[in-house]
A and B are shown apart, each in its own frame.
Chain A
C-alpha cells in the first residue's frame, strides 16, 4: 500500500470547515483513499473513501487531486465532537486482507470553541 503523509496536528474553530490534507504521491492506479477517525479511547470510525472522483456523504467530503497524489478531507461545519485523530489510508480495494488497514500516526484535529 502507498505511504501517506499527514500533518501531526491541526486546529479549527467550531462551525468552520475543517480541511485535512493527505499526501500520497506514490499511490498506484488501483489504490483507493480511505479516511477513518478515532475519537479518544474509542475504536476507529470509517468516514469516506474514493478513487479519483470527489466524494461526499453525510459526514464529510473527499477531494482528490487530478494526479491523485494528494487529497483533502473536508468536515463542512466542525463541532467539538469532531475532535479526533484522522487517518488517511491508501490501499487496494480488493486487498486480500493480509495487510489490513495501515494506520499511521494521523492528524490530531482539535476543534476550538
Chain B
C-alpha cells in the first residue's frame, strides 16, 4: 500500500491564482481530511469528508473548496490564493470518523507571493 499520497510536494503561487492540491489513499478509508500547519503552530482542520459525496467544514474553511467523488481521492482547491494561505498542507485518512488512527500524507508546502 502507498498509504496517503499528496501532490505536489512544493508549490509557489502568485496572489489570486487558483490551484488544486491532490490527496489520494489506497486503504479504502471512509474518512479523509485536510489540515494546514503554520510555522510553530499545531495543525488546524480545514475540511473533512466522512465518505464519497459528503464533505463538511472544519475550523478554517474560508478560501478553500473540497469535493469527494470517490473514496480514494480528496482534492483541496484554493480559489484565489492569498499570502495568508502560505502554509504546509497535510491530508489524512482513517477507517472512520470515530477517532481511529489517522494516517497522514507527507504534506504540500505552499508559498503564495
Contact = CB atoms under 8 A, between A and B. Distances in A.
Interface stretch (A14-22, A62-70, A72-80, A93-101): A93-101
Interface stretch (B13-21, B65-73, B77-85, B96-104): B96-104
Nearest to A94: B98
Interface string A48-75: 0100000000000000000000000000
Given A44-B43, A87-B42, A101 B97 contact: no
A44 B42 CA distance: 10
A95 B45 CA distance: 14
B92 to A, nearest CB: 8
A42 B30 CA distance: 23
A102 B41 CA distance: 11
Nearest to A98: B56
A92 interface: yes
B41 A105 contact: yes
**Size bracket of the A interface:** 20 to 34
A16 to B, nearest CB: 27
Contacts, number: 67
Given A42-B106, A46-B102, A97-B48, A103 B43 contact: yes
Interface in B91-113: 92, 97-99, 101-107
A94 B101 contact: no
Interface string B1-25: 0001000000000000000000000
Nearest to A102: B42
The 7 closest A-B pairs by CB, nearest first: A43-B104, A103-B42, A97-B97, A100-B45, A93-B99, A46-B101, A103-B43
16 contacts: A42-B107, A43-B92, A44-B43, A49-B99, A92-B99, A93-B99, A95-B97, A95-B99, A97-B56, A99-B45, A100-B45, A101-B43, A103-B43, A105-B40, A105-B41, A106-B42
Given A101-B43, A101-B102, 8 more contacts: A43-B92, A43-B106, A91-B99, A97-B31, A97-B33, A97-B48, A100-B35, A100-B45
